[in-house]
Amino acid sequence: MKKSIRTFLKTAGKDKIARSANPAIVRASTIYFKTMQEMREHQNKISKGKKVSHWDYGRQGSQTTIKLQNIIKELEQSYDVFLTQTGFGAVALSIMSVCRPGDEIVISDCVYRPTQKLTSQLLKEFNIKAIWYDPNSFDDLKNKVTKKTKLIYVENPGSNSFEFQDLGKIVSLAKRKNIYTAIDNTWATAYYFKPIKLGFDLSITSATKYYSGHSDVMGGTLAVSKKVYKKVWWYNHLSGYRLSADDAYLVIRGIRTLDLRMDKHHQNTLKVIKWLSKQKKVAKILYPYKPSSKIYKLWKKYYSGASGLLSIIIKSKSKNSVYSFVNSLKLFGIGYSWGGYSSLVVYNDPVEMGDRHFFKIEKNHHLIRLHVGLEDTNDLINDLKNALRKVKQ
């Protein structure tokens, strides 16, 4: 019988040869071969895409990174996995592997801001056009697809604004038109949603967030379908993306408890939301928690759980008082890179939102992003309660 993913995550990092509960950190640029013939045979195997237990040169990684690749491959149920030094590296690797001059990329308006910049500014210099679609309208996406569309790029849910899209419809459309599909799945991780299984070609996760889970390492994973594997392999090979053995080790250490942490983030978030939803100063909560809402239905259709990241809209005529609310929080630290064990907060100014074409915040509404960590929810709620007093309506 196939073991459950919970058991797999607890056992996959073990090193049977070293009889250790943890994998070895193999730091190497040079990898030795006994003879030239052995070296050439090994290189031949690598170029044919055969499974190998070590590479021929450290730039491609070591046993430690291979171990992490295999863990993510199982978690994602993908054809293969590439590792990058940051999550954003995985975003860039996905796009640059498949798009070429003259192509168009149809991209959802709600993507992470640096992804907006990469596609609208850098790709422009390579004559690749980014066309933005409204994440709340599948028809808008459909109407923007042309003969030049090479890639549909989705981030689900939307960065800071938490739009949920009908992912199955997007995949079906792309398959009919022979277009590649990429999704940034950092919010849910492959523990709650497996994009490659649904039919996406490129599944991006910032390992900096939930995979590592302890706010002490940066990394990215790009899981791929068979259809794009060779393109990504080629671009990756020629661009030098890699994750160090030490960082891979830290992600392996963190990912062991991914299931426990994710489930707890979800439970804690629902408890905090239950309280927040009764507060007059909180006009809206952007998270799939209300069964009657559109985003809940779309989330439920594809996801088996939700993480600890949400936004709330606070109503106030005084922006300063909302800044005071954020500044007075003691357990929610002001900072980026959610997905760690602790709670975080950021006031979303244009610097976080970027140039959005389809999202508008009403006058006197303020968008606050919260990450609900693994602390006791009674303490988190008390913290929010005290800080919310600062908001002047």
Ligand X SMILES: Cc1ncc(COP(=O)(O)O)c(C=O)c1O
Q: How far is the CB of 336 from ligand X (least distance, A)?
A: 6
Distances (CA, A) of 246 to 13, 21, 25, 219, 326: 14, 16, 6, 11, 35
Cβ distance to ligand X smaller for residue 55 or 359: 359
Where does this chain touch ligand X (CB under 6 A) — which range of 51-59, 81-89, 231-239, 270-278? 81-89
The residue with its CB nearest to ligand X is: 87
Distances (CA, A) of 282 to 158, 311, 363: 20, 10, 14
For 102, the 3-state DSSP assignment is coil
> Which of 58, 61, 87, 157 lies at the binding interface for ligand X (CB under 6 A)?
87
Backbone angles phi, psi at 216, to 5 degrees: -125, 10
Determine if 247 is a binding residue for ligand X (CB under 6 A).
no
Q: Considering only residues 136-165, where is the footprint of ligand X by CB under 6 A? A: 155, 159
Q: How far is the CB of 350 from ligand X (least distance, A)?
A: 16
Q: How far is the CB of 90 from ligand X (least distance, A)?
A: 7
Q: In degrees to the nearest 10, what's the CA dihedral of 295, 296, 297, 300? A: 120
Q: How far is the CB of 339 from ligand X (least distance, A)?
A: 8
Cβ distance to ligand X smaller for residue 91 or 93: 91
Q: How far is the CB of 104 from ligand X (least distance, A)?
A: 22
Closest CA to 109 of 89, 142, 139, 131: 131
Determine if 220 is a binding residue for ligand X (CB under 6 A).
yes
CA distance 332 to 330: 6
Cβ distance to ligand X smaller for residue 55 or 88: 88
CA distance 55 to 66: 9
Asked if residue 105 lies in contact with residue 150, where contact means CB atoms within 8 angstroms, the answer is: yes
Cβ distance to ligand X smaller for residue 13 or 220: 220
* Backbone CA torsion sign across 150, 156, 157, 159: negative
Distances (CA, A) of 304 to 77, 79, 107, 194, 301: 15, 22, 25, 10, 9
> Which of 82, 88, 180, 302 lies at the binding interface for ligand X (CB under 6 A)?
88
Determine if 186 is a binding residue for ligand X (CB under 6 A).
yes
Cβ distance to ligand X smaller for residue 88 or 133: 88
Closest CA to 308 of 170, 209, 203, 181: 209
Q: How far is the CB of 114 from ligand X (least distance, A)?
A: 7
Closest CA to 97 of 207, 230, 200: 230
Q: How far is the CB of 298 from ligand X (least distance, A)?
A: 18
CA distance 74 to 233: 19
Distances (CA, A) of 221 to 7, 186, 197: 21, 10, 16
Where does this chain touch ligand X (CB under 6 A) — which range of 63-71, 84-92, 190-198, 348-356? 84-92
Q: How far is the CB of 220 from ligand X (least distance, A)?
A: 6
x/- mask, ligand X, residues 309-348, rule CB under 6 A, reads ----------------------------x-----------
> Which of 218, 243, 285, 295 lies at the binding interface for ligand X (CB under 6 A)?
218
Cβ distance to ligand X smaller for residue 91 or 202: 91
Asked if residue 71 lies in contact with residue 13, where contact means CB atoms within 8 angstroms, the answer is: yes
x/- mask, ligand X, residues 100-139, rule CB under 6 A, reads ------------x---------------------------
Distances (CA, A) of 356 to 131, 153, 187: 12, 15, 20
Please work out the total of residues on this chain that contact ligand X, with binding judged by CB under 6 A: 14
- Phi/psi zone of residue 91: left (φ > 0), alpha (ψ -120 to 50 degrees), beta? alpha
Where do contacts with ligand X occur on this chain (CB under 6 A)?
Answer: 86-88, 91, 112, 155, 159, 184, 186, 206, 208, 218, 220, 337
